[in-house]
A and B are shown apart, each in its own frame.
Chain A
Amino acid sequence: MLKTFSKGGIHPPENKLTANKQIEMLALPKTVVVPVAQHIGAPAKIIVKRGDMVKAGQIIAESGGFISANIHSPVSGKVTKFDKIIDTSGYKKDTVIIEVEGDEWVDTIDKSDTLIKEISLSPEEIVKRVNDSGVVGLGGATFPSYVKLMVPKGKKADVLILNGVECEPYLTSDHRLMLEKGEEMLVGVKIIMKAINVNKAIIGIENNKKDAIEHLTTLCQGYDGITVVPLKVKYPQGGEKQLIKATINREIPSGALPIEVGAVVQNVGTAFAVYEAVQKNKPLFERVITITGKSLKNPSNFLVRVGTATSNLIEAAGGLPEDTGKIISGGPMMGKALLNDQSPVTKGTSGILIMPEVESQRRKMLPCIRCAKCVSVCPMGLEPFLLMTYSVKKEYEREEKERVMDCIECGSCSYVCPSDRPLLDYIRLGKSEIGKIIRSRKA
């Protein structure tokens, strides 16, 4: 029996159209629009001026606090403009616009493909390098990675868990990376293990990626302490709490972080970025992105520079299909709908999904028939129907008591509801109101 998490979960159609498509380099765009807030936390502070010439890998915005990250220029060229664009959060964010000229990289970057296995940096130096390189969690949450590499005083990590689950339908960027950059990734894992001082690492991969499981299992023989754990296909197994439960059967208490149960979780893509930062001195300015959709002519996996417009990816994949109704940044379960195809891709963009119009519209909401399907699929053991009722009635105190803040917003409840009720919409509303109440209580 394959391991998985015990509570709830769903199995939406996988639609991994690009599972066998090799990663290709996307041609450089003419201009890039680089947001300074590509991570959770404070936006970075711009340190270049209009007219400055920059090289790829040169820092253009400095980390704006403890939870923040440096932003590097993804291309070489001229800084032409600073502008505000509406990003996936719906708010206006500062960006640096660079006109591309050539492709010159900062000369400290090792551009060769040679695998460097030897880890010469000390744990402190690793943390500093990861921070300097602007590495953030590439699974989608974009939490600055260096923070997770510093185990807080009084806590101890005993295992590193690598997230190679990729439970979102359609997305295959992690899958391809594991197949094509497996060795580099494992060195990255070793680096993280050294930084957090553990001698055991587990790579969790869902069983719909058998080739990746086999490939990494073979490679692991050369790396002490790293094992691959195949997992049953079930969404949202890529959620931190669900993954820890599935792989080592520990349950993070409500409101706590993984370190509470001795675990540190990193995405496999992040492990690769750490490898590049530490061994190749290469800051994070490009990543693998899946561009996919049922009507798309040529769904692909591309290596893309941050700041490239979404439309460039779409063109390279055969152009925007006639029947397009929605463009999603990320997967269909947790991704965000884009306002237009000009939005730049960022460090957190794992995929671009083009949805046909017929699948894009919300269905009509019907009365709740109390079928309890939302309760049975909730991976956090919550009662979505009840939380929605409390949000509608603005009974936020009762909603808080029903542990609404534990919700990981995986969307399984909305997915499964036969009455097509927008459960997660209302739960988000409740969470945001209750968040305000909690903050005012502390003040």
Chain B
Amino acid sequence: MNKLFVSPSPHVYGKQSVKGLMYGVLIALIPTMLVSIYFFGMGALIVTLSSVLSAVAFEYLITRFILKSESTIMDGSAALTGLLLAFNVPSNLPLWIILIGSFVAIAVSKMSFGGLGNNIFNPALVGRVFLLISFPVQMTSWPKPIAITEKMLPYLDAETGATPLALVKEGVRNGVKLSEIQGIPSNMDMFIGNMGGSLGEVAAIALILGLVYMLVRKIITWHIPVSILGTIAIFSGLMHLGNPDKFTDPVFNMLTGGVLLGAIFMATDYVTSPMSTKGMLIYGVSIGVLTVVIRAFGAFPEGVSFAILIMNAFVPLINMYSKPKRFGEKQKK
């Protein structure tokens, strides 16, 4: 008889693995990538590739030469961070800036905390916000989208313009009524991604497709995305009702900036989000409120990144105070 394995139960395991989950998220991001290439052409391709490759390379170098441990690049998490970072920057960002962002994301925000599972802040967002603060000009000049069927947009010298959110911020600051601000795309254009912005944030329909895919494959649950989007819709709706000249309507708020990208792909990052469903809802609602507040009253036109990073810091606290309801907890007779 062969030697028998003896181990405690359970003796069977589920199909989901870390690798499977990470690659699942990458697959969910494919539609978004295709739309960004469609509208931003060459730049989208170059920025995405360089960000993904450099993120993987940085992680490999760090595990190989600094930590001297087994390489972790095959688990897909570094590639995912790289892809998400790319989706959070304009498609004409110079290569060297991307490399800096990817280094900050992987080396500073992820590996220095101990690698996958140990980081407090979402690595891609840390990279993005670092770039936004360090290179405000390059990070806020957005190429105007042109469908690839008409012309393949070049990488660096595309014509640039402002995002809808920046137009609104600028207009409101100068006292112009919302309805009189020029150059805001139609809801339909915003829905399919035909507007200026970071290359992964523009295509609402592609992002929602990714959400559906992740829900069906049980990679994430609905709690975080729905609570963020619901809060933004309700909160910005109330403000819009209060002063329609100054505050934009909920549909505009949901479709612009990184709201969908943030709610679906950034805030749902396993490592930096709460563990209980109650905690996830608290986290989601807080991100929603902070986003609207930053957009309406802050210095930056865009608030999702900051909102998520702020709430990342509260996750340990949320975990401590939002325990799941234990079985048999209430009915003490």
Asked whether A241 is an interface residue with its Cβ less than 8 Å from the other chain, the reply is yes
Interchain nearest-CB distance for B62 vs A (Å): 15
Distance A291 CA – B115 CA, assembled complex (angstroms): 45
**Residue contact A376 to B277, C-beta cutoff 8 Å:** yes
Partner of A10, one of B8, B14, B117, B326: B14
Asked whether A435 is an interface residue with its Cβ less than 8 Å from the other chain, the reply is no
**Residue contact A254 to B329, C-beta cutoff 8 Å:** yes
The stretch from B17-25, B43-51, B232-240, B294-302 touching chain A is B17-25
The DSSP consensus for interface residues of chain A is loop
- Residues of B within 8 Å of A12, CB to CB, are 12, 14
Closest residue of chain B to A322, judged by CB? B2
Partner of B327, one of A367, A380, A414: A380
**Residue contact A368 to B11, C-beta cutoff 8 Å:** no
- Residues of B within 8 Å of A217, CB to CB, are none
Knowing A337-B11, A371-B270, say if A382 contacts B5 (CB, 8 Å).
no
Give residues 107-123 of B contacting A (CB, 8 Å): 115-118
Interchain nearest-CB distance for A419 vs B (Å): 5
**Residue contact B18 to A418, C-beta cutoff 8 Å:** yes
Asked whether B271 is an interface residue with its Cβ less than 8 Å from the other chain, the reply is yes
Asked whether A318 is an interface residue with its Cβ less than 8 Å from the other chain, the reply is no
Interface string of B313-333 (1 = CB under 8 A from A): 000000000011111111111
**Residue contact A370 to B275, C-beta cutoff 8 Å:** yes
- Residues of B within 8 Å of A416, CB to CB, are 14, 16
Distance A256 CA – B271 CA, assembled complex (angstroms): 36
Closest residue of chain B to A373, judged by CB? B16
Closest residue of chain B to A411, judged by CB? B10
- Residues of B within 8 Å of A373, CB to CB, are 16
- Residues of B within 8 Å of A360, CB to CB, are 5, 11
**Residue contact A403 to B326, C-beta cutoff 8 Å:** yes
**Residue contact A253 to B16, C-beta cutoff 8 Å:** no
**Residue contact A335 to B326, C-beta cutoff 8 Å:** no
Q: How many inter-chain residue pairs (CB < 8 Å) link A and B?
A: 166
Knowing A335-B11, A370-B271, A418-B20, say if A251 contacts B276 (CB, 8 Å).
no
**Residue contact B326 to A366, C-beta cutoff 8 Å:** no
**Residue contact A251 to B327, C-beta cutoff 8 Å:** yes
Partner of B1, one of A320, A337, A411, A424: A320
Distance A160 CA – B10 CA, assembled complex (angstroms): 30
Asked whether A128 is an interface residue with its Cβ less than 8 Å from the other chain, the reply is no
**Residue contact B117 to A367, C-beta cutoff 8 Å:** yes
Knowing A370-B117, A372-B275, say if A338 contacts B4 (CB, 8 Å).
yes
Knowing A338-B4, A368-B117, A375-B276, say if A251 contacts B328 (CB, 8 Å).
yes
Distance A327 CA – B7 CA, assembled complex (angstroms): 11
Asked whether B13 is an interface residue with its Cβ less than 8 Å from the other chain, the reply is yes
Distance A254 CA – B332 CA, assembled complex (angstroms): 9
Asked whether A24 is an interface residue with its Cβ less than 8 Å from the other chain, the reply is no
Asked whether B221 is an interface residue with its Cβ less than 8 Å from the other chain, the reply is yes
**Residue contact B4 to A339, C-beta cutoff 8 Å:** yes
**Residue contact B5 to A253, C-beta cutoff 8 Å:** no
Distance A250 CA – B331 CA, assembled complex (angstroms): 9
Q: List 22 A-B contacts (CB under 8 A).
A: A7-B325, A12-B12, A251-B327, A252-B328, A253-B333, A324-B4, A328-B11, A333-B12, A334-B10, A335-B9, A340-B1, A357-B2, A360-B11, A361-B5, A369-B270, A370-B271, A370-B273, A381-B329, A383-B323, A402-B323, A406-B328, A418-B17
5 cross-chain pairs, A with B, having the tightest CB-CB distances, nearest first = A411-B10, A367-B117, A381-B326, A371-B270, A360-B5
Given contacts A251-B331, A359-B11, 16 further A-B pairs with CB under 8 A are A254-B329, A325-B4, A326-B6, A340-B1, A340-B4, A369-B77, A372-B270, A372-B273, A372-B274, A376-B277, A411-B9, A415-B14, A416-B14, A418-B16, A419-B117, A425-B8
B-side residues, CB < 8 A to A, are 1-2, 4-14, 16-18, 20-21, 75, 77, 115-118, 221, 270-271, 273-277, 280, 323-333
